[in-house]
A and B are shown apart, each in its own frame.
Chain A
Amino acid sequence: MKISFEKINALWRGQDDFRVRLLNCGIDLKAVCLDTMCDDAKVSDFVLQPLAYVNDVLSIEDVERRLAVGTGVRKPPNLYSAIEDFTNGYTLIFDGEDNCLSVDTRTVVGRSIAEPPTSMVMRGPREGFVEDIKVNLTLLRKRLKTPNLKVVNLTVGKYTNTAVAVCYIEGITQQRIVEDAVQTLESVKVDGVLDSSYLARYLDVNKTWLFRRVGSTEKPDIAVGKMLEGRIAIVVDGSPMVLTLPYLFVEDMQSPGDYYENSSMTTLSRTLRFISVIASVLLPALYVCLQVYNYQIIPLRFLITVLNASEAIPFSPLTEMILVLIVFDILREANLRMPSAVGISLSLVGAIVLGDAAVQAGLLGAPAVMIGALSGIGLFTMPDNTLILSLLRLAVTFIGGVMGLMGVIISTMAIVVYLASMQDYKTPFLAPFAPDIPEDRQDSVKQVPVPRMKRRPKSIPNENSQRRG
């Protein structure tokens, strides 16, 4: 559609923040902007002042040349583009023949760069992404001072017109992955994108219902690290979470601080995380089915202790354990939604009063509470998947309680088959373990020192496998 002042005026007339300024500088010009989206100083410095003191302007092209003080000056190709610029805080300048020019006068509203609360580190950079896409791209550019850093800009959302930037390093990232991601994003038909997690659902090609298939990070150093391995980063305006693709299960075990610590310590931490996750999902189920069906497996003294502690409990071991797990999940949910000060009190009430009272009253056995708590704490070693793991834990416990060890084996196998079948963007989810890629084990559970990581992961398709040169 052709751009015209009348159309813009008709769409926004009557809005309090809609500003129209008539100028005469040789020809009649109209400058329009949304007051709430524009920086007054920029409007004055980049638009009004340069035009106020001249009277020899001949055409809109002339204006474009004279407005050289502003860096973001462009001619929108169509009405949609002009509206998009306008709503983003650009000032539109029209001449009498409805030729249009948009000048970047966007205001920067948002919090300043700070350490992200979800990815605190002992060592390493403390900068975190913010909600502003420009700032986030600056944070990436600051770390990747190379012309090979490429950004594909898109707009997604019918009403929100959210700016989305697909960033990748040319020469490392496989072009096909970029094309696939851009194609997927372009095909998104949605009213609005309020956070990057909206797009994560679309980028998950196989629409998996368990486990997320798109990585996210709040830290620019992590995003850049992943881009250097051949992944792409997707920055969404209004979201401090930058998405990364392709995504591996093993990334869930990696913590932002891992690369700034000693590699042996990192290997130890990751091993503990790995064991914790497996134990969290399987421990309650094993406790129930060993107690109900296969108590012979439990060492005699331990068995006597467990039986003494759970002798007077009015529930079956399965019901008891399910109750413990559900109470734990309720407490966790309540804790997440409470202000931090109240949250601490809630934890105390949950852990000490509720747990202790239940044991004292003989409703729950101390071993079950202990196993439930241990399993619950273990879940937090993989914070991004806590909810999913909690769900799996409940399911495996139930099946184990009903079917014994056979149930635990079958449900574990089903989970593994499910995980093993997942493959997005030519990347197997369980790599480098299934399929086994020995070269990629250098940064999986084990981590070799950074100087020895000479090749990029094979599991992530890339155009240059050498890390240096």
Chain B
Amino acid sequence: MDKNRVSVDQLSLMYLLLLMGGKFLSLPSILASDVGHDSWLAMAFSFMWDGVCLCMLLWAIKINRNAKMDIGAILDKSVSKPVAKVIFVIFFVIFVLRTNILLASTYKMFSVTFDVSTNWIVYLIPVGALAIFAIAKGFNAIARTAQLFFALVVISVIALLVSPLSEVKLTELLPVAEAGWGKVLWTSYFRSFWFSDYIFVYFVLDGIKIKKHVFAPMLTSFAVGALLAITLNAVFVAIFGHFAPDFDMAMSKIGVFSAASTTNGRWDWLTLSIWLVSVFLKMIVFIFCAYKCVEKIVGAHFVKVNWISISVVMLTLLLPLFVTAEDILNTVVKWGLIPFTLVQYVLPLLMPLFTKTAVFKSEATDVSPRKVSAVSAREAQHE
């Protein structure tokens, strides 16, 4: 069994969890500080861009369904090896930074909300150990874990959404686009670093088992995930109004005004804990992708966990020891906005073209080892 093979269904469930994981930590307050109560609009625009890019990526997956080439092979054949390496370096930086931001946010959530204060290294060790363990077991095991937790996480998010509904004042969301459409669009672009969760798909391109449809399950997941994220963001702003920028741990603060929680206990925290599974899954997936980036950069294929590569990834997660999450967002992400946008939003648009080129070149090179493996993969699929 190829331990990194996943079905489209598994991929779409995982994508839905990744869409929800991490979107309700500091992002709502950051967006609120940028555009006030129009933050949900900025989020909606970001998701619209995501949707277009996702469609193009899915098209590329369809083109690649028989060739089963990995992202390394596609980029090598279409844009040349040096350019491919540069793209992987940018990807590596994105994954590492996003994991760092997620880690920093959950670290803050645990210390502020759950009263578990510790130092960064002690916090990183269990998370890193879990990620390494999951990478060793393969992406398939991660996808199955997502499948198993899927229902629980979705129920917990819906419960988090429904429980504070009585406190929601929709008038807080009016007037629409008060900050101005231009500013909303700019924020949507400026904060794009937080979106484009589909980028993990690049690193499992060669292992996607396609039975019938690709578009339907992935786009359904995307629609549901985006809808839930936008709604929760709107609920957050509608509850806190002008104070929204001051509440940076959105999810844990949503139930704070519920009178019932004082006597009945903060049950929303239990649902919050279940939702945190999706955040940890997101971190694992991003660490997996960062590890794969190292693999592509050094031009190797690791059958077992390569300790040097995984150590490199883990070392980069010590970044918050030296720079705060805010500094990362305000400096590194700001400087890297253009290269990040290129791989997050331009590369997917070109992926069908690149994949077609790579498939064409691969077929032209007669009896290449990759073609042989692709043919045998096809035969195995038929069997």
Residues on B with C-beta less than 8 A from A303 are 265
Q: Say if the beta carbon of A69 comes within 8 Å of chain B.
A: no
Of the candidates B106, B144, B148, B265, the one having the most CB atoms from chain A within 10 angstroms of its own CB is B144
B148 touches A416 (CB 8 A): yes
What is the CA–CA distance of A423 and B140 in the complex, to the nearest angstrom? 11
Given contacts A300-B263, A417-B142, A421-B138, contact A434 B280 (CB under 8 A): no
B277 touches A413 (CB 8 A): yes
Q: Say if the beta carbon of B177 comes within 8 Å of chain A.
A: no
B265 touches A416 (CB 8 A): no
Q: Say if the beta carbon of B247 comes within 8 Å of chain A.
A: no
**Chain A residue nearest in CB terms to B281:** A413
Q: Which of A286-321 contact B (CB under 8 A)?
A: 293-294, 296-303
- Of A53-61, A228-236, A261-269, A400-408, the segment with at least 4 beta carbons within 8 Å of chain B is A400-408
Residues on A with C-beta less than 8 A from B182 are none
**Chain A residue nearest in CB terms to B13:** A436
Q: Say if the beta carbon of A414 comes within 8 Å of chain B.
A: yes
Given contacts A405-B273, A435-B10, contact A410 B127 (CB under 8 A): yes
Q: Say if the beta carbon of B116 comes within 8 Å of chain A.
A: yes
What is the CA–CA distance of A423 and B116 in the complex, to the nearest angstrom? 36
A417 touches B137 (CB 8 A): yes
User: How does the 8 Å CB contact mask read for B136-151 relative to A, with 1 for contact and 0 for none?
Assistant: 0110111011011100
A406 touches B266 (CB 8 A): no
B147 touches A299 (CB 8 A): no
What is the CA–CA distance of A299 and B264 in the complex, to the nearest angstrom? 4
What is the CA–CA distance of A420 and B133 in the complex, to the nearest angstrom? 12
B280 touches A433 (CB 8 A): no
Of the candidates B110, B116, B133, the one having the most CB atoms from chain A within 10 angstroms of its own CB is B116
Given contacts A294-B115, A300-B265, A406-B110, contact A416 B142 (CB under 8 A): no
A436 touches B147 (CB 8 A): yes
Q: Say if the beta carbon of B9 comes within 8 Å of chain A.
A: yes
What is the CA–CA distance of A302 and B269 in the complex, to the nearest angstrom? 17
Residues on B with C-beta less than 8 A from A406 are 106, 110, 114, 116, 126, 276
Q: Say if the beta carbon of B171 comes within 8 Å of chain A.
A: no
B269 touches A430 (CB 8 A): no
Residues on A with C-beta less than 8 A from B130 are 410, 413-414, 417
Return B129 CB to nearest CB of chain A, in Å.
8
Given contacts A434-B145, A436-B147, contact A420 B137 (CB under 8 A): yes
Q: Say if the beta carbon of A418 comes within 8 Å of chain B.
A: yes
Of the candidates A403, A417, A428, A433, the one having the most CB atoms from chain B within 10 angstroms of its own CB is A417
Q: Say if the beta carbon of B134 comes within 8 Å of chain A.
A: yes
What is the CA–CA distance of A300 and B266 in the complex, to the nearest angstrom? 10
The contact of B141 among A293, A296, A405, A421, by CB within 8 Å, is A421
**Chain A residue nearest in CB terms to B276:** A409
**Chain B residue nearest in CB terms to A298:** B265
Given contacts A296-B266, A417-B133, A420-B137, contact A410 B126 (CB under 8 A): yes
The total of chain A residues at the interface (CB under 8 A) is: 34
Return A283 CB to nearest CB of chain B, in Å.
13
Residues on A with C-beta less than 8 A from B361 are none
Residues on A with C-beta less than 8 A from B300 are none
Return A211 CB to nearest CB of chain B, in Å.
14
A404 touches B114 (CB 8 A): yes
Given contacts A405-B114, A409-B277, A414-B130, contact A428 B269 (CB under 8 A): no
Q: Which of A403-456 contact B (CB under 8 A)?
A: 403-410, 413-414, 416-418, 420-421, 423, 426, 428, 430, 433-436
What is the CA–CA distance of A430 and B134 in the complex, to the nearest angstrom? 16
Residues on A with C-beta less than 8 A from B269 are 294, 296-297
Q: Say if the beta carbon of B267 comes within 8 Å of chain A.
A: yes
Return A458 CB to nearest CB of chain B, in Å.
13
- Interface size class on chain B is 35 or more
Q: Which of A125-169 contact B (CB under 8 A)?
A: none
A417 touches B115 (CB 8 A): no
Residues on B with C-beta less than 8 A from A296 are 265-266, 269
A300 touches B147 (CB 8 A): no
A299 touches B144 (CB 8 A): no
Q: Which DSSP category, helix, strand, loop or mixed, fits chain B's interface?
A: helix
Return B146 CB to nearest CB of chain A, in Å.
8
What is the CA–CA distance of A406 and B144 in the complex, to the nearest angstrom? 21
B116 touches A404 (CB 8 A): yes
B114 touches A433 (CB 8 A): no
Residues on B with C-beta less than 8 A from A428 are 144
What is the CA–CA distance of A414 and B136 in the complex, to the nearest angstrom? 12
A435 touches B133 (CB 8 A): no
What is the CA–CA distance of A297 and B149 in the complex, to the nearest angstrom? 22
Q: Which of A380-403 contact B (CB under 8 A)?
A: 399, 403
B141 touches A299 (CB 8 A): no
The contact of B148 among A294, A302, A409, A430, by CB within 8 Å, is A430
B266 touches A297 (CB 8 A): yes
Return A54 CB to nearest CB of chain B, in Å.
60
B114 touches A300 (CB 8 A): no
What is the CA–CA distance of A303 and B142 in the complex, to the nearest angstrom? 37
A417 touches B10 (CB 8 A): no
Q: Say if the beta carbon of B3 comes within 8 Å of chain A.
A: yes
**Chain A residue nearest in CB terms to B146:** A434
What is the CA–CA distance of A435 and B144 in the complex, to the nearest angstrom? 6
Residues on A with C-beta less than 8 A from B133 are 414, 417-418
B144 touches A407 (CB 8 A): no
B280 touches A300 (CB 8 A): no
**Chain B residue nearest in CB terms to A416:** B145
Residues on B with C-beta less than 8 A from A299 are 263-265
Given contacts A299-B265, A409-B277, A421-B141, contact A433 B270 (CB under 8 A): no
Residues on B with C-beta less than 8 A from A421 are 3, 137-138, 140-141, 144
Q: Say if the beta carbon of B330 comes within 8 Å of chain A.
A: no
Of the candidates A299, A300, A404, A413, the one having the most CB atoms from chain B within 10 angstroms of its own CB is A413
Given contacts A433-B147, A434-B145, contact A293 B114 (CB under 8 A): yes
What is the CA–CA distance of A300 and B264 in the complex, to the nearest angstrom? 6
Residues on B with C-beta less than 8 A from A420 are 137, 140-142, 144-145, 148
What is the CA–CA distance of A399 and B137 in the complex, to the nearest angstrom? 22
Residues on B with C-beta less than 8 A from A418 are 133, 137, 141
User: How does the 8 Å CB contact mask read for B149-170 relative to A, with 1 for contact and 0 for none?
Assistant: 1000000000000000000000
Q: Which of B81-139 contact A (CB under 8 A)?
A: 106, 110, 114-116, 118, 126-127, 129-130, 133-134, 137-138
Residues on B with C-beta less than 8 A from A293 are 114-116
What is the CA–CA distance of A403 and B126 in the complex, to the nearest angstrom? 10
Residues on A with C-beta less than 8 A from B127 are 410
Q: Which of B1-18 contact A (CB under 8 A)?
A: 1, 3, 7, 9-10
Of the candidates B115, B118, B262, the one having the most CB atoms from chain A within 10 angstroms of its own CB is B115
B280 touches A413 (CB 8 A): yes
Residues on B with C-beta less than 8 A from A405 are 110, 114, 116, 273, 276
What is the CA–CA distance of A407 and B265 in the complex, to the nearest angstrom? 21
Given contacts A405-B116, A414-B133, contact A297 B148 (CB under 8 A): no
Known: A303-B265, A417-B145. 11 other contacts (CB 8 A): A293-B116, A297-B265, A405-B273, A406-B106, A409-B276, A410-B280, A417-B137, A420-B137, A420-B141, A434-B148, A435-B144
For the complex of A and B, the 8 pairs showing the least CB-CB separation, nearest first, are A420-B144, A421-B141, A421-B137, A434-B144, A404-B116, A299-B265, A434-B148, A434-B147
**Residues on A facing B (Cβ under 8 Å):** 293-294, 296-303, 399, 403-410, 413-414, 416-418, 420-421, 423, 426, 428, 430, 433-436
Q: List 17 A-B contacts (CB under 8 A).
A: A298-B265, A301-B263, A403-B126, A404-B110, A404-B115, A404-B116, A406-B116, A410-B126, A414-B130, A414-B133, A418-B141, A420-B141, A420-B144, A420-B148, A421-B3, A421-B138, A435-B10
